[in-house]
Structure 1
């Protein structure tokens, strides 16, 4: 297995951690009914931290797609190398740091961390194209 595929597997673990952290925070705010009910009008009952965790999870979900595409492109084009491996792990580190950065309101670091992950993904895509 390549370093990029290992990074993709690590991204799944980060995603699961984001889901669990978000759901545990939701449950701490309103109890088990938050996970069992329809979740209608839920936001008004959630703490600011839980709302940030839910936004962080949403952002993470939105950013997995381009990273998966980058890994697939690198794999299919055979352009794996030190650059794509480094970028893949920069993405993983950025996503792992992004969750607490969003949850705890690390300004401006949240944006810097996001941009690092995005840049790493774009470099992978460009390296596979060029």
Structure 2
């Protein structure tokens, strides 16, 4: 399996863990019935729940960009040590981003995000060069 594809699988696992963790905290705050319902009028959520929900939203927004980068690299036959390194940086950055958001690691959270974003952008550049 190409390293970029392995990285994609690892990020999917990170995403699943984040969904589970976020939902567990939501259930803690609103109960099983509140979580199973339409969530139209949720009571105030705990700070850590809100942070993980925002981290999940961020992950959901950025994951497709990484998927596209991996697809472009592999379909253009541009895979190299550089794209493998970029993919690894993205996996590590996303793995660190989750606790950085939950625990409020400022300004590190933004720096971690930027590292992952730039790694993804570099994969697109490598795919077209």
TM-score bin, normalised by smaller chain = over 0.9
Instruction: Give the aligned partner of residue 84 of structure 1.
Output: 83
User: Please, what TM-score do these two structures have when normalized by structure 2?
Assistant: 0.97
SS at match of 1:71: helix
Q: Which aligned pairs between 1:114-125 and structure 2 lie closer than 5 A?
A: 114-125=113-124
| Local SS of the residue matching 1:72 | helix
Distance 2:34 2:74 in 1: 41
Q: Who is 2:17 aligned against?
A: 17
Query: Which residue number corresponds to residue 4 of structure 2?
Result: 4
> What are the ranges of 5 or more consecutive residues in structure 2 without an aligned counterpart?
none
The number of residue pairs the alignment matches comes to 129
Is 1:28 the equivalent of 2:46? no
For residue 54 of structure 2, what is the aligned residue in structure 1? Answer: 55
The structure 1 segments of at least 4 consecutive aligned residues displaced by more than 2 Å after TM superposition are: none
Task: Please state how far the C-alpha of 1:72 moved relative to its aligned partner.
Answer: 0.4
1:90-119 deviations in Å (ceiling 9; x for gaps)? 001100110111111110000000000000
Separation of aligned partners in 2, 1:59 and 1:41: 23
Cα deviation for residue 12 of structure 1 reads: 0.6
| 2:97 pairs with 1:98 | yes
TM-score, scaled to structure 1 = 0.96
Deviations 1:10-47 (A, max 9, x none): 011000011001001111112112321111122x4211
Indicate the RMSD between aligned Cα atoms, in angstroms.
0.8
* Counterpart residue number, 2:41: 41
Q: Secondary structure at the match of 1:31?
A: helix
